[in-house]
Chains A and B, each alone.
Chain A
Amino acid sequence: MTALQIIFLITAVITLGAAAMVVITRNLVHAALWLIMTFFGISVLYVLLNAGFLAVAQVVIYIGAISILMIFAIMLTRRVQQDFGPQTNAAWPWALVIAAALFGGLIWIFSGWGNFFTQAPVMGERADPLRQLGMALVSPEQYVIPFEVASVMLTAALIGAIMVAWERK
């Protein structure tokens, strides 16, 4: 087992454990803190995958902005920080069966894929991935159309959100 694999396994256990705690814990603030832990684990996964830019973006956007926003929202709302209701309903065995089947199916799919057991190649020094990313987004031979469409979509989503949230007299 290489060092990379050991780091991956530790990260995976922490990430999955924290993700489970997000739904298990009864305290909303604790859930938000566990969520930050999950995001952090995911950013470590990005580093392991040689996606340094994504890892930084993950930390800045998800941990830095979104989680803090959530914690503020929780603290500003009324006293609903504790949940005393039941955490499962009668259908949980079914959910368990479906989840297990889905997991088994995915493992089966992956095991049929030739590269499942090969080691990730070492990437080495790449030439400035940020610059490549920027060029790819505006190049007509790469992603300019998705880039422009995303801006239209975000504008429409913004206007829609304002429309839904606006208090009409």
Chain B
Amino acid sequence: MTIAFEPWMYVAVLPEILLVVLTLVVLGLDLALPEERRGGLGWLTAGGLTAIILVGFAVAMPAGEPRLMWGGMLRHDWLGFAFKLTALFAAAATSLLSMDLAQVGKRGEYYLLLLASTLGMMLMGSAADLVMLYLAIETTSIPLYVLAGFLTRDDKSTEAGFKYLLFGAMTSAVMLYGFSLLYGFTGSTNLYELASLAQAGQLSLASVFGSLLLVLVGFAFKISAVPLQFWAPDVYEGAPTPVAGFLSTASKAAGFAVLVRVLMAVFPGIQPYWGAVISALAVATMTLGNFFALSQKNIKRLLAYSSIAHAGYALIGVAAISMPGSTLGATSVVFYLITYVVTNLAAFGAVAAVGRVTGSDEIASYAGLSRRSPWLALVLLVALLSLSGMPPFGGFVVKFAVFAAAVEVNLIWLAVIGVLNSIIGLYYYLTVLKVVYLYRSEEEDKPMPVPGGYALGLLVLCVGILLIGTLFAPWFSFSSGAAAALF
């Protein structure tokens, strides 16, 4: 298969090109600026990313039929576009939330690694070739390993970085083995060519299913689905808080993007088997995540288990896609992830803002927060209630969407388990809010300063949560555009 090169392909990857340019500018300024003036790098990164989002909307929006480009390496479609913008948005918010953090916010390397990882995520969303996909996943992961261990003086951060590296390397080796089997069986690395071969019945079911399981190991690690979830709590706890937020949102969303694309493109012939595997993963992931979250004393560990549970809810939507006749499945997954990214970034942002003043991530240290900083407490309230799926916040609408997608294809038992799990989730989110709003502490008359970067970042995120929850129609059509163009 040859795809002729045409000039529009430059425009389609303009956001990626601009991102590389921004990375180089950050690298150059880090060298050129004196140390005390490097605080502006965070604003530059956030501003640059915002500009790239606007450019993306202006010129790189897919129109008409989805097309393969750059020799079949990338695909210009709504799925890729939606996840591209989500990654850029998450990176912009993360740099706003990092710039006032000691030992992190004034270092050029931090923003450079963040941007390199974002480039990988953007390409993960639109990669249509196994070679491109593997490179994109590694471009995402390698900077994240360093970012998780960024505080080299801090034992927990070092442990987080190292653990993430070891598990990541192991799972990506297994995934690569699966890729090599797929290539060996078919002689092609292009996902859509693989798809047409699979539909033509040229591949045996067993070989495809076996390769799928190996590939699934790498993806399950990225989205922290059970049984490859065990790294998440330790890594989130040790990593700098904004990095933990970035890991749990953008990295996970990109993982879901490739999961949906690869499974839908390559394996339509074995959808029933795949549906069973994904349903089992969904049940195990949300149940385990929620049960372990119940007993957590550290808010970052709690959010880690909650993010595992949320991967489980999103997997309900993925399971629904695999059933014949699903119209809501892909829509609900894309929609769920966009909302989850916004919400969880707000939660981790509030945790970072509190942690930089109190120096602790224990839930007990949140006592009296509503008196020390009513606005931060409110952000936490909005974020946690949205995570638990309460109206009028975004989390409610999207949970409704994935459950509806499951019901639509007669996976009612899966939707029931999802609802039961949401109730468990509500308990531990409310426990945190109880400490925030009802408990008193001796330090409650000390105010808690919130620097400008945090204020702006958290404001944007909270407005986003409320907008999705109340005016969800435009978001819904945005996501359904993404889902409709999957094939």
Query: Which A residues fall within an 8 A CB radius of B?
Result: 105-106, 108-110, 112-114, 139-146, 149-150, 152-153, 155-157, 159-161, 163-164, 168
Contact = CB atoms under 8 A, between A and B. Distances in A.
Given A112-B207, A153-B138, 9 more contacts: A110-B207, A144-B70, A149-B119, A149-B120, A152-B23, A156-B116, A156-B139, A164-B152, A164-B161
Interface stretch (B128-136, B380-388, B412-420, B465-473): B128-136
Interface of B: 2-5, 9, 13, 20, 23, 27, 70-71, 73-74, 109, 112-113, 116-117, 119-120, 123, 129, 131-132, 135-136, 138-139, 142-143, 145-146, 149-150, 152-153, 161, 181, 185, 204-207, 210-211
B112 A109 contact: no
5 contacts: A152-B116, A152-B119, A157-B142, A157-B143, A160-B143
B113 A156 contact: yes
A163 B146 contact: yes
A160 B109 contact: yes
Contact of A142 (B71, B120, B206): B71
A157 B132 CA distance: 18
B135 A149 contact: yes
Nearest to A136: B71
A45 B9 CA distance: 39
Contacts of A110: 207
Contacts of B146: 160-161, 163-164
A163 B107 CA distance: 10
Nearest to B142: A157
A100 to B, nearest CB: 16
A160 B162 CA distance: 13
Contacts of B207: 109-110, 112-113
Classify the interface of chain B: helix, strand, loop or mixed: helix
A16 to B, nearest CB: 16
A163 B103 CA distance: 13
A140 B204 contact: no
Contacts of B74: 145
Contact of B139 (A106, A143, A149, A163): A149
Given A106-B210, A112-B207, A159 B112 contact: yes
Contacts of B23: 152
Given A156-B116, A160-B142, A141 B5 contact: yes
Contacts of A149: 119-120, 123, 132, 135-136, 139
Given A156-B143, A164-B149, A143 B131 contact: yes
Contact of B204 (A112, A146, A161): A112
Of the candidates A112, A144, A153, A161, the one having the most CB atoms from chain B within 10 angstroms of its own CB is A153
B70 to A, nearest CB: 5
Contacts of B4: 141
Contact of A156 (B5, B70, B112, B149): B112
Contacts of B5: 140-141
B206 A146 contact: no
B84 to A, nearest CB: 14
Nearest to A109: B210
B206 A112 contact: yes
B73 A146 contact: yes
A113 B117 CA distance: 37
A145 B205 CA distance: 32
Contacts of B116: 152-153, 155-156
Contacts of A157: 142-143
A142 to B, nearest CB: 5
A166 to B, nearest CB: 8
Nearest to B139: A153
Contacts of A150: 135
B210 A145 contact: no
Contacts of A109: 181, 206-207, 210-211
A155 B24 CA distance: 11
Given A108-B206, A160-B113, A152 B20 contact: yes
B466 to A, nearest CB: 35
Contacts of B142: 153, 156-157, 160
5 A-B pairs closest in CB distance: A160-B146, A156-B116, A109-B210, A112-B206, A140-B5
A159 B109 contact: yes
Contacts of A112: 204-207
A141 B143 contact: no
A109 B215 CA distance: 14
